[in-house]
Structure 1
């Protein structure tokens, strides 16, 4: 389980260290930085699949993601009533992401290339990485380190052994360096990162593929697009928690149930509701109904991930669906760690009542912080040195 998430230099997140529980809900007003936390988690997951550089490019490049405020002095300026103003950057450009867990922790430091003669001079490079044991990176807990292209591994005797493998600036040692004998912790971190799942805004418009029959194969994991919803629900029915699936849908829609029809290898979804003379097909369901069914399929996966992140799952949902959704999230958290990012007070309250740990974000002078978190409340954290 992830116990700490650390972000530094990502848009409004100048320095944020969040404690995570088995079930965590991140709340706050629009524009306060919730989406940046969500995207930071996605970027971390991309590191383990060699996709971080491309993901940063899709976000607009490293320069558009960096913290744009002052590097220091903001706290003192506010204390003495002076306006907080940006200054000339003195330190190296850096975007840092990391996490600690009950197993191994990982931290990465992105920066700009030193060679400015190339047309790819705005592409970020990985300057430093570290895999460590315990809750905090320290000299004694570091297990594998990368500085620029050089990798070194700590042996069983505690000595650092330089490795002859040289990493390219855009390669992560987690994704590219494979030595299960010398560095088995890297394999575990890679597997952990690759298992994380993210569900954002599903497409439910009238032309959405999920409303049309789709090829049906056994689907223990709902695709992030939600296109294979019918196959995913049928997989839960045959190999997952069918009782919880039926109970959740019946509670949400006044005794309704869902069925999957198959024809020529194509699966289609229908909903049977009491009082209607015929079932409703997927292309007849409202956006909110279809979105709720997609969330059900994601949360009841027969193959749960180590971490499941839902970004604003309340979108298009009627307020009366928030209670059954919270109940389902609570049930799913028994098998997987869940982070829910939401600004719907109804869902946040329901999750808090279900035992979720709440992190409320606020912003002051352009900088995101955690409400009520003082310096002594922040989890201990340190970054690898370049």
Structure 2
């Protein structure tokens, strides 16, 4: 689980820290910086997959097939107000060796990476990187730029310091600075096995990240049974739901959730094949009425996609969900939040969700409220800021009173409090 994200000069954040829990809700207006936090998570995700910086910022193709879409704005807009560098720090708890996801037996990793942006439109390059672990008092690795490098982005750009085998001093290894050290060290034969295990544990955790933004068009497409990876736009929804329904308990639970969401009395799911063998999801009601994905409402499909992401056989460890409340009726949103919280508390998944609506806070449990944050800007200032919502004065009493009208004025109350202090 990612417990902390610290940004320096990244997008509209000059210096901001986000503290995270199993479920973290980000509240903010348009242009406050919520999507920039998504970009920060995508940046560390791209690095963990072994992409070099041009690929992280641009696109990644494998055998002619697009595998990755770059960071919005590229290198020209990634740093705060034209700065020549930015830094991202993360603190992550991962299951200890041999422990399963959700186990309380976890190791802590702290990772920091700084990226230099060339003013002459040259390639971006890593200027500093470090990984620490509580497995041992020494660092896992750290690098400094090589003085022998004549170019800031030379293939001989930096030296990496890692502990030697059996505590025999420090090894210094040279790597190009166009790619994170995470993946490069893991493949190096001079890196001790203990460090390789630490690197793999941390990197694999960041690899298991998904960024969902379901599209009604994509969710209505047919798919082949066995396609159990839900696409970020909701592709393969029918086959993922098909896989979930192979478990009788999950099939029954899924029908109950749909019944709570809609006036339909759904008792089962049907999967009708076409001439190619692809299947399409249909909702079966107690009166025999069948509603296919073609005719189901956008909100129902979005609800199903978010559930499928969490319950599916190929679920990720981390999900970033933009505008969680989009397409879901306000009186039914609590159902989705309840389901997400249930699985997040078990350690099966970590979710970061954004919303424009402070009213969502009233639907969260007390524990989840402690991890909710406001993303905001003060007046005409360009700088994005992050504040834990429960730290804003009088928020607790407003929530206890269920005064939703006062909840909608979080930014003003925070601004007034900052002005007085």
- TM-score, normalising length from structure 1? 0.79
Q: Is 1:147 paired with 2:160?
A: no
Shift in Å, 1:305: 3.0
- Show the counterpart of 1:26: 26
CA distance 1:152–1:339, shift in 2 (3 Å): same
Answer whether contact 1:197 1:307 (CA < 8 A) is retained: yes
Structure (1/2) with the larger helix percentage:
2
After superposition, what is the alpha-carbon deviation per residue over 1:309-350, rounded to whole angstroms, capped at 9, x for unaligned?
A: 212122222223311111111122122222212223343331
Q: Is 1:261 paired with 2:266?
A: no
3-state SS of the aligned residue for 1:109? Answer: strand
Q: Which structure 2 residues correspond to residues 168-187 of structure 1 after superposition, within 5 A?
A: 168-178=176-186, 179=188, 181=193, 183-184=195-196, 185-187=198-200
Which of residues 249, 256, 259 in structure 2 aligns to 1:247?
A: 256
Measure, in 2, the Cα distance between the counterparts of 1:354 and 1:272: 36
Measure, in 1, the Cα distance between the counterparts of 2:337 and 2:376: 23
Across the aligned residues of Structure 1 and Structure 2, the Cα RMSD in angstroms comes to 2.7
Q: Which structure 2 residues correspond to residues 128-207 of structure 1 after superposition, within 5 A?
A: 128-134=128-134, 142-148=139-145, 149-155=158-164, 161-164=170-173, 166-178=174-186, 179=188, 181=193, 183-184=195-196, 185-199=198-212, 201-204=213-216
Measure, in 2, the Cα distance between the counterparts of 1:366 and 1:160: 47
Measure, in 2, the Cα distance between the counterparts of 1:18 and 1:343: 18
Task: Please identify, of 300-309 and 327-336, the stretch whose mean Cα deviation from structure 2 is larger.
Answer: 300-309
Q: Is 1:214 paired with 2:253?
A: no
Shift in Å, 1:112: 2.6
Q: Is 1:292 paired with 2:310?
A: no
Moved over 4 A (4+): 156-160
3-state SS of the aligned residue for 1:223? Answer: coil
3-state SS of the aligned residue for 1:222? Answer: coil
Structure 2 unmatched ranges of 5 or more: 59-69, 94-107, 146-157, 392-421
After superposition, what is the alpha-carbon deviation per residue over 1:129-152, rounded to whole angstroms, capped at 9, x for unaligned?
A: 1111259xxx96532113343222
- TM-score, normalising length from structure 2? 0.72
Give the number of equivalent residue pairs.
337
Q: Which structure 2 residues correspond to residues 95-134 of structure 1 after superposition, within 5 A?
A: 95-102=86-93, 103-113=108-118, 121-134=121-134
CA distance 1:101–1:234, shift in 2 (3 Å): same
